[in-house]
Amino acid sequence: MAKADRLERLDIRRAELEEEYRAALIAALRVTAAGRWGLFDHQQDRSARAKTAPVLAQLDELAQEIDAMRDTLGLEPFDLHPAFLAARGKPAADAVGEPKQAKAWLERMGADAD
pLDDT digits (tens, 9 = 90+) for 36-48: 999 999 998 899 9
* Alpha-carbon gap, residue 97 to 94, rounded angstroms: 9
**Amino acid 14: pLDDT:** 98
How far, in Å, CA of 34 to CA of 3, rounded?
46
Do the beta carbons of residue 26 and residue 109 sit within 8 Å? Answer: yes
Q: What is the pLDDT of residues 12-34, one digit of tens each?
A: 999 999 999 999 999 999 999 99
The answer to whether 33 and 99 have CB atoms below 8 angstroms apart is yes
In this predicted model, what pLDDT tens digit does every residue of 56-78 receive, in sequence order?
999 999 999 999 999 999 999 99
pLDDT the model gives residue 113: 67
AA identity, residue 10 = L
**Which pTM does this prediction carry?**
0.92
Given a contact cutoff of 8 angstroms between Cβ atoms, the answer to whether 69 and 21 are in contact is no
